[in-house]
Amino acid sequence: MQSKKEIIEAFNPNASAISDTLFGLPFNEDHSDLILIPAPWEVTVSYGSGTANGPQAILDASMQVDLHLPNIKDAWTMGMHLLPISKELKEENDIHRNLALKYIKWLENTQGDPIPDELIIIPKAVNGVCEKLNIFIKSQALKYLGRNKVVGLLGGDHSTPLGLINAVTERFGRTGILQIDAHADLRRSYEDFTYSHASIMYNALKNPRIEKLVQVGVRDLCKEESIFIENSKGRVTTFLDQNMKRDLYHGHSWVDICEKIVSELPKQVYLSVDIDGLDPKLCPNTGTPVPGGLEFFELIHLVETVVRSGRKIVGFDINEVAPGKDEWDANVGARLLYNIGSLVGISQGKLVLKA
């Protein structure tokens, strides 16, 4: 078998992609420092659908991404490998998505009537299969973390990274979460689904090793979530999008705002990116787009600020990429993955960030 050095020497990063691997890179999982777990899952989505197709769409779009990053020397040499997208997982998603949709439609049209017998078992079934997904993702993550790989996850909806979050904290200990999102995702449950995409951070905070949650870009939250943040005794810090915009309008720089955000984080950070944290012109097909949000390079600068601060990004996810007919979201998602994955690699000593 060729060594990684031999593979690098034989590969032309300037040529067009000729393989069906992520970004057309020539590495398998053994030669890649970054392993990505695909989660083609959207069982509990409550508005637009399509995020279950996110991992495949990002893989397809990645073939058009140029590999040169001006601020990172030979970023591609770290190696990024997307594990096979499970057909069985996608089929299970489709079955339980249809069940959840029946229940959601009944909720939307009910007038307080008792739950019909044929629907009453659906929340339990959906919660059970989502828990199975969490266990599967956690076992996959621990396998590669045990091999000293950097591990990320490609969703799917934003419920999918819970298993990875729990695996990372089991491996690295006390960690903070930096969440990029239009929504707070702090509901105890949503539409009777415990593992809803709207509850991911509520569920993550059940883990005692998560010492801090810092939210950036939030601009759509309910009163329950607002009260949760207020009562968290500083465990949750939320940078509302409208407040950040107000600071920018009053002359503060994005550099200063990023420094303020990063100062709230502990030394170890898990990065969770819901693509709807970006301006919806960059993700018009995502499930729940909201006006406002970050620009692409505002997000990249924020992650770079985390890295330059000396903090270690111990894991990450990118979620809620729904390709749509124009595949624009996947185009953005693929470039987001390449930039963020490379920066995470720097934070773990796999690459070098230029001054």
Amino acid of residue 107:
L
Contact 63, 116 (CB under 8 A): no
Distances (CA, A) of 249 to 85, 244, 246, 253: 44, 9, 5, 9
Of 166, 135, 168, the C-alpha closest to 151 is: 168
Question: SS3 string of 221-250?
Answer: CCHHHHHHHHCCCCCEEEEEHHHHHHHHHC
Distance of CA 96 to the CA centre of its chain: 22
Of 159, 151, 238, the C-alpha closest to 198 is: 159
Whether 352 maps to a domain, the answer reads no
Integer Cα distance of 121 and 289 in angstroms: 31
Of 178, 201, 184, the C-alpha closest to 268 is: 178
Contact 343, 304 (CB under 8 A): yes
Whether 120 maps to a domain, the answer reads yes
Which domain CATH number covers 44?
3.40.800.10
Whether 93 maps to a domain, the answer reads yes
Query: What is the chain's pLDDT, residue by residue, as a tens digit (355 residues)?
Result: 789 999 999 999 999 887 889 999 999 999 999 999 999 999 988 777 889 999 999 999 999 999 999 999 999 999 999 999 999 999 999 999 988 888 888 877 776 677 787 788 888 888 999 999 999 999 999 999 999 999 999 999 999 999 999 999 999 999 999 999 999 999 998 887 888 889 999 999 999 999 999 999 999 999 999 999 999 999 999 999 999 999 999 999 999 999 999 999 999 999 999 999 999 999 999 989 999 999 999 999 999 999 999 999 999 999 999 988 888 999 999 999 999 999 999 999 999 998 7
Whether 354 maps to a domain, the answer reads no
**In the chain, count of helices (H) and strands (E)?**
11, 8
Enumerate the H helices of 68-188 as residue ranges: 87-109, 122-145, 162-172
Whether 353 maps to a domain, the answer reads no
State the helix-helix crossing angle for 296-308 and 254-263, rounded to 10 degrees: 50
What is the pTM for the complete model shown?
0.96
Determine which helix (DSSP H) or strand (DSSP E) holds 7, and give its type and residue range. helix 4-10
pLDDT of amino acid 192: 78
pLDDT of amino acid 263: 98
pLDDT of amino acid 111: 66
Whether 355 maps to a domain, the answer reads no
pLDDT of amino acid 77: 97
Contact 74, 67 (CB under 8 A): no
Integer Cα distance of 178 and 262 in angstroms: 9
Cα distance between the two ends of the chain = 36
Its domain, for residue 42, covers 4-347
Integer Cα distance of 225 and 206 in angstroms: 15
Report the domain count for the chain: 1
pLDDT of amino acid 355: 74
Residue with tokens 């069982």: 43
Query: Using the 8-state DSSP alphabet, how is residue 275 labeled?
Result: G
pLDDT of amino acid 208: 98
pLDDT of amino acid 122: 86
Amino acid of residue 241:
D
Segment 280-283 long-range contacts (CB within 8 Å, at least 24 positions apart): 282/328, 282/329, 282/332, 283/320, 283/321, 283/328, 283/329, 283/332, 283/333
pLDDT of amino acid 168: 98
pLDDT of amino acid 48: 72
